[in-house]
Structure 1
C-alpha cells in the first residue's frame, strides 16, 4: 500500500519487483533526496535482473500477473511511482548484469542524458529450478561453499540479494553537498565473441577490457590496491580471470604481490544478477571503514595460479586499507557473465572535505512522518537506535536531513530539542506512550495532539526555530 499497489496485484507480483522498489526508496532516502522532488526529473533506472520464476507457481487468471512478472516493468515500477522521465531499462547479461547496469548509468550521466541514476541488481529465486539446471550443468559446488582461488574450487554457491546505488555527476553531488561514498574513475563493458563454448570465459577479452579501462581513463594499476574479482570459485574460471588480471597489470608494472585480491562470493554466495552491485557495495563499505574484509575459504592456492610472480596476494585476512596523499584508496571490480558480456570498473575514495558547520546553540525541530501510526512508531524506534549507535552525530545535521531529505507523509511527529540526549528522551516518551514536549498530528484526520507544553501558549508553540529558519507549526 505504501507504493499504492492493490493487494490483489501485489499477490501476483514477482517479489523481485517489490524488493527492488523498497530498496530504491531506501537508497533515495540514504542520499537525502526527497522522493517527491524527483517527479518529472531526468532520473534514469538501470537494473540487472533476470526472468521471473514466480509466475510458474501462481494459480491465477489475473491480468495483472502479466506485467507484474515482467523484467521490463520491474525497472519501470519506481519510475511510474515517482513519475521519473529518464530511461528505465532492465538488463540481463547473466552474472555481469548489475555491473553492466552501473556502467550504462555512468555513460548516461557522462552524455548528459540524465541527471540522476538509480541502478543496481536483484536476484530472488522462488523455485528450485535454477539449482536444478545449474546442477545439471555441473556449475554448483558439491560442498555448498565457494572456494575462490583455492585448490578446492569446484563450483559456486547461489545466493540471493538486492543492491541499489544512486549515481550523480561529481560536480552535481558536490554542488548539492551530498554524502559521497566513492568516485567511479572508469568503467567499460565488452563481449567475449567466439570462444570454445558459448558459456566459456575468454582470457583475451577480460584482459583487453581491463587494459582499456586503465588506458582510457588514465589509471595506473600500481594505484589499485585491491581487486574485487568475479571469483565464482571454479577450477578453470578462477585461473583464467587471474591470468587476465595479471597480464593487464603487467602492461603497466612489474611490481609483485602488492594488490589484494578477493571475492565477496565466498562470504555471501554468487548473487547472480546482483553480483556486480554486491562487489561495488563491498568496496564502498571498505572505503568507508578503511578496512578490507577477508575472502574466506582460502587455504591453498589453485595449482594453475602463480601468485609469486604476480601483482596479487589473496586477501584472506582483514587488513587496514592504507593510503597516502599521492595514492588514495582505489579498487577495481570485475563481473563476467556466462553470456560473454564482461564489465570492469575502478572506484576511488572521495577525499574528505570540510563540511559546513553550525556553531549556533539554538535548538532545532526534529520532524518524522510515515504513512500510518505503526510505521511512525517504527521510524521513531529506528531513529532512536541510530542515535544510540552513533553518538557523535550532529543534532543540526539530523534535523536538516529529516526536514530537507524526507517526504512529508500523513502521520507526523515533531519535537523541539537542544541536544541529542533530549531527542532520545522524547523519542522514548513517544514510543512508550508517555507525555512529553513532542507533537503528533495526522493530515488525514485533520487533527493535532499536543502533549505537555510546559505552560507555553499555543501561539508560542505555533512558531519554532529550526537551525535559524522559522518554521510554522501549522505548516508542519
Structure 2
C-alpha cells in the first residue's frame, strides 16, 4: 500500500518552514554559523584545536533562533510545566500542529482517532542542563518533561490521539526509521493517520565535546560530502514532521499530496570490524530491499538523498553500496544524481533522516534538484564513474521524463540502516473544487482567530506576509481556508476591505495594534461559541435575496434547489424564480402574497 505525504512542517537552520527550506536549498545557501552567543561557554583550552584536551569543530553548527520560545497557554500547559519540558517536546508539539494545518485538518477533529505519532530522537541535552542545577531544581514535572518517550506521548495527549505513540532511537537514523515505522503502521491498519518525524537540539556543551572527541566533527565546521576534503561533519539542530495517510484515502478525500512513500526497509550491519564501522554490503542490502518493497527497479530511481556525513570512512562506504545497487543499471552519460542536505544545515543527528526525507519529497514534487554544497574535489576513494554516481552541484530540472522516483538513506552509528523510496504523486482525475469566498466587486474578506491578542497580532503579520509573498493567491481561496481548515479560537478578527491593498494595510495595522476602518476585532468566550438558527417570521423578505450567493457557493445553491423542489409541488409558481426575481417584475410582486411569503 502506497502512503501519501499530505502535510509537512519543519524548523531548520535558516528555514522556518518547508517553503523557506526549499528556497535555501535551491539558492545553495549554507546555514552553518558560529555558536550563537549565550548558547554555551567553554574554556579556551577546550575550544582551541591544538591545546591538550581540545575539541575541534565544536565552534560551528546549524542553529535555530529562540529555542526557548513556546506558547504554553496555546496548548493548555502551565508555565511551570512548560519550563520543565525539554524544548524538543515543545518544538515537536508545535510542528505537529503545523503539519496538520498544512494538510487542511483541524487538529481538534482528530480527537479520539487512531492517529499514530512516531518521533525520532537520540539526544537529551535539556536533561543535562537540568541536572547541572542539582536535585533541588527538579520538580514534579521533571520526569515527564525530560523523558524522551514523552516527546511522542505529549503530542498524543494534547491532541487526544489514540494510535501508537512512540519515540524511536536508532542513533542518527532515528527519524527516517520513525517515518518507515509510521508507514508500516498505516499498512498494518494500527494507525489511520500518522505524524512522523524527528527533533534534535544542541543545548549542552558536553554533547558537542563528546561528539568531537569521538572523532566525528570536521575541524573546518563544514560537511564536505563525497569531497576529498571530507574530515567529519558539522552538527545541526532543528526538527521536521510529516503527516502520512494511505494514498487511496488521500485521493478520495481530495488531499494535496506532496509525494508518495512507495516502500522502505531497515536492517543492521551486525558484526563489522568495529561497532561504529559501516558495512557497504548491508547498506546495499537495505537499499535493494526497500526497492523490492516499493516495486521499483534501480533504473527507475533518478536521485538519492545521501546520508552523506562527509566522514573519511562513511562516504566511501556509502558510495560503494550505491554503486553495488545502481552501477549496472546506469546508461553511459546518465549517472545517478546524489546529494546531501547536511551540506546546507549540518548533520541533525537523530533528526537527520527527516531533513533528507523532506528534501526528497520536495524534489519529486517540484521536479527540481538543488545543489549539494562544498563539492569541489571528488574523493579519490570513491569510484564515481565505475559506480555510476554524480554529485548534484547545480540547481536543475529532474533528470529524465518518466515518473520521478528518489531514494533516501539514513544510517545510525550503531549500524541501523534505513532506506525509503518516494515518488511524485500519481495523477488524479480533476474534481470540481468549491469556489472561494471572494465577492464579485473585488473586495476582500479575511476572517481569522487566535487564543490571545498577542497571537492574533502575530497571525495578522503572518497572513500579510503570505499575501505579499504570493500575490497570485486568490483572497477567496485564502478566506475559505481560514474558515474551513483552521481551528476557531476566542480572539478573532475580520478584515473587510475594498481591495487587496487595503486588506494588507488592515493586517499591518492589526499587527501593530493600530485601528483601521477595514478591521473588526472581538472576543467570544469559548463556552458561548454555539450554533444557532434564527427564524425571523414574515416581513424580512425582499426581491433578489440570496442572488449574490446562488450559483457561487455550491452548498447554498444545492440547499436552496433542494428546498424549492420540495415546496414547488405545493405552489402555482416555482419558488426559486420568485426568490431570485429582479425588483419591479411580476414574479417579484408575488413575494407579498402569503402563500409565497411563508415558504
TM-score of the two chains, using structure 1 as the length reference: 0.89
Q: Deviations over 1:3-27 (max 9, x none)?
A: 1111111112111111111111111
Residue 366 of structure 1 deviates from its aligned partner by 3.0
Q: Deviations over 1:448-472 (max 9, x none)?
A: 9xxxxxxxxxx99xx99694556xx
SS of residue in 2 equivalent to 1:188: strand
Please tell me whether the aligned partners of residues 434 and 554 of structure 2 are also in contact (alpha carbons under 8 angstroms).
Answer: no
Distance 2:345 2:509 in 1: 39
Q: Deviations over 1:292-339 (max 9, x none)?
A: 111111111111111122222111121122452xx1222111000012
Please tell me whether the aligned partners of residues 260 and 313 of structure 1 are also in contact (alpha carbons under 8 angstroms).
Answer: yes
Residue 98 of structure 1: aligned partner: 175
Residue 416 of structure 2: aligned partner: 341
Please tell me whether the aligned partners of residues 235 and 302 of structure 1 are also in contact (alpha carbons under 8 angstroms).
Answer: no
Kindly tell me: are residues 159 and 194 of structure 1, through their superposed partners in 2, closer, same or farther at Cα, counting changes over 3 Å?
A: same
Distance 1:26 1:435 in 2: 29
Residue 432 of structure 2: aligned partner: 356
TM-score of the two chains, using structure 2 as the length reference: 0.72
Please tell me whether the aligned partners of residues 438 and 445 of structure 2 are also in contact (alpha carbons under 8 angstroms).
Answer: no
Residue 373, structure 1, aligned to residue 450, structure 2 = no
255-264 vs 103-112, greater mean Cα deviation:
255-264
Residue 38, structure 1, aligned to residue 110, structure 2 = yes
Alignment of structure 1 residues 281-430 onto 2, 5 Å: 281-324=358-401, 327-351=402-426, 353=428, 354=430, 356-357=432-433, 363=439, 366-415=446-495, 420-421=500-501, 423-428=503-508, 430=510
Residue 53 of structure 1: aligned partner: 125
Distance 1:359 1:80 in 2: 36
Residue 230 of structure 1 deviates from its aligned partner by 0.4
Distance 1:256 1:238 in 2: 23
Alignment of structure 1 residues 106-185 onto 2, 5 Å: 106-185=183-262
Residue 99 of structure 2: aligned partner: 27
Please tell me whether the aligned partners of residues 150 and 300 of structure 1 are also in contact (alpha carbons under 8 angstroms).
Answer: yes
How many pairs align? 456
Q: Deviations over 1:392-417 (max 9, x none)?
A: 22333212221121111110123456
Residue 568 of structure 2: aligned partner: none
Residue 445 of structure 1 deviates from its aligned partner by 9.2
Residue 355 of structure 1 deviates from its aligned partner by 5.4
Kindly tell me: are residues 425 and 467 of structure 1, through their superposed partners in 2, closer, same or farther at Cα, counting changes over 3 Å?
A: farther
Kindly tell me: are residues 355 and 387 of structure 1, through their superposed partners in 2, closer, same or farther at Cα, counting changes over 3 Å?
A: farther
Distance 1:357 1:321 in 2: 29
364-373 vs 205-214, greater mean Cα deviation:
364-373
RMSD between aligned alpha carbons? 2.5
The runs of 5 or more residues in structure 1 that have no matched partner are 449-458, 471-476
Kindly tell me: are residues 468 and 441 of structure 1, through their superposed partners in 2, closer, same or farther at Cα, counting changes over 3 Å?
A: farther
The runs of 5 or more residues in structure 2 that have no matched partner are 1-72, 530-539, 557-599
